Structures are given as C-alpha cells and as structure tokens.
Amino acid sequence: QKTHLDWLKTALTSDGEFEKFLGYDESKIKEALNHIKSELDSCTGDNAENQKTTFKQTVQGFFSGGDIDKFKTDATSTCKNS
C-alpha cells in the first residue's frame, strides 16, 4: 500500500490535498488505496502509461472536491474498458 500512497502523493499536489486525504478514517484510506491498486493493475498493454496518466488526472479532479465515500465509483480508469 505504501507504493500506492506514494503514487497518490504525486497526484495530490495542491496545498493540503494529501494531508486532507490522510485525515480520513483509516478504513477509507485503505479502501481508496486498494481501489488505486486495482485500477493501476488493470492498465496493461501498449497504452498503459497513457491510461495511468489519465487515471491520475481523474484522481486529482476527484480530490479537488469529491466525497471519499464515492471514490471507488467516481474515480475510475479507462483501463478495464480497453
């Protein structure tokens, strides 16, 4: 999970975003990190890096105002669709 926490830290670059994430309940943090792992693991093939970059942008947008309880459904990659 540390790998995905580090990945998330690179996505949440605005002031206080990462710290706000760390303020959530531990179970919500773990659920979010597991979701990130699942999404990134599904990005394979020739277009994987582009898909991961797009997912990172989706995560950035989500955490600029999204509800952590909706992270799993609202912040998804396009990897599983390709």
pLDDT tens track for 5-54 = 999 999 998 888 999 999 999 999 999 999 999 999 999 989 999 999 99
The residue that leads in pLDDT, 81 or 31, is: 31
Residue 75: predicted pLDDT: 94
Neighbours of 63 (CB within 10 A): 20
How far is residue 42's CA from residue 12's CA, in Å, rounded to a whole number?
21
Residue 59: predicted pLDDT: 95
Give ∠ CA 24-22-33 in degrees, rounded to 5.
85
The residue that leads in pLDDT, 80 or 60, is: 60
